[in-house]
Structure 1
Amino acid sequence: MLTRMAILLVLLLTSPLLAEPEVMLSAKLEPERAALTSALEAANQRLACFADAHHWGGLVQEPFYDRVEFFDQKAAFDDRLRELTGTTAEIPATFVAALEQRVLVAVSPRLYASLVPANDEPEAFEKLL
């Protein structure tokens, strides 16, 4: 019986529904990995609470991204977004996050604050994500 329970636990923990997304950072952002991961978790929790409050909880049961990429340079963010969207269009300076092809891309909190100072408020980065 314990073996079956152990197998079930392994299957549940390796389920795509519970799998953590891959988080990609530049070397410069690596020291901020824990803070960025915490912001991402808080954003997911915020979304889940909002969905539950509006009876949309079923729509956020499964993850909608497999990978998260944070950028410390706007040009690198823009290049990656163009790659994901297959466009050559100019990206506005205040365009700082996107979800494309199940990849969540965003600039770092510091870069976000400098590019969009009007959004300086508590949990601004969490709300962006």
Structure 2
Amino acid sequence: DALLDSITRPKAVASNSRAASLERKLRHTGLIEHFAPHMISLEDVENGKPAPDMFLLAAQRLGAAARECLVIEDSTTGVTAGAAAGMTVWGYVGESGGDTDLPDMLRDAGAHEIFAHHDEIRAKLP
């Protein structure tokens, strides 16, 4: 994925999925090499999203302060969790158009910016 290739800083994935399911999804999509070994699943924390636990654990494993982290999320529960962790959160609504209310829902949940295309995200990265 061009977006993930363009991010040179350490990355993690945090998902409310179980560990086996998350790993299976990442292998199936060919994205596992972008995130391993920093794959945070529901089994790694006491509270899943919308609690901030997953994102705080991801920051800890990456050796980063929460305020230095960027979360890119496509769900209100994930945006809520990232905001509660004190991280910068960008909402991703996808290129399909999908739910026309999603951009406002993500913004209301705490997303600082909303993006519909990976190219927009890549252009905005520091």
Q: TM-score, normalised by structure 1?
A: 0.30
Greater gyration radius: 1
- More contact order relative to length (CA 8 Å, sep ≥ 6): 1
Judging by fraction of residues, say which structure has more helix. Answer: 1
